[in-house]
Amino acid sequence: MKIILKKDVESVGKAGDLVNVSDGHARNFLIPRGLGIEASSKNMKALKNEMETAARKTTKEKEAAQSVAARLENVTCNISRKVGQQNKLFGSVTTKDIGNALREQGIEIDKKNIVLEEPIKSLGEFSVKIKLHSGVSANIKVVVAGEV
């Protein structure tokens, strides 16, 4: 039986694939769980329309991410932290701190999209990568200054 997969199914295929599976597997597992639909001409056209809509949506999201990336390239985040002797920070600067500093500048970035290899634990200037979309990222400058 030919099935169009609606979701990724391990060892069968990915969403949108047209696969040939046994009748029992299709009727007892894939179709009842909403993982696939029968490959009729009507369903093929509906799938094609869904794929085109998804592609247009992805393109719009990527363009929006690229415009945000261009805006972020010139952004400098200033963060001040208490320091002890020998200019060592009490604690560290994390993605949450960077996200809050960006929010104060009017830029909404989820802290999950901020990529730090390790928390910043010293004073200075650092380049931090921000993932905006698959294949689109930007680097911002984070300046950590000490306060007494």
* pTM of the predicted model over 0.85: no
Are both 52 and 7 inside the same structural domain? yes
Are both 38 and 82 inside the same structural domain? no
Q: Which domain holds residue 55?
A: 2-63
61, 133 in Cβ contact below 8 A? Answer: yes
CA angle (63 as vertex; 57, 67 as ends), nearest 5: 145
Q: Does 87 have pLDDT greater than 80?
A: no
CATH at residue 96: 3.10.430.100
d(CA 68, CA 142): 17
Q: Which two tokens stand for residue 91?
A: 């604690």
Tally the residues of the chain: 148
d(CA 106, CA 114): 16
Are both 139 and 77 inside the same structural domain? yes
The tens digit of pLDDT for each residue in 104-137 reads: 988 888 889 999 988 888 888 999 999 988 888 9
Are both 106 and 123 inside the same structural domain? yes
Are both 77 and 44 inside the same structural domain? no
**Among the three residues 63, 88, 112, which one is the final residue of a domain in this structure?**
63
Query: Could you tell me the pLDDT band of residue 91, with boundaries at 50, 70 and 90?
Result: confident
- The domain tally of the chain equals 2
Q: Which two tokens stand for residue 116?
A: 């730090």
CATH at residue 45: 3.40.5.10
Amino acid 148: pLDDT: 64
Are both 44 and 79 inside the same structural domain? no
d(CA 90, CA 104): 22
DSSP state of 51: H
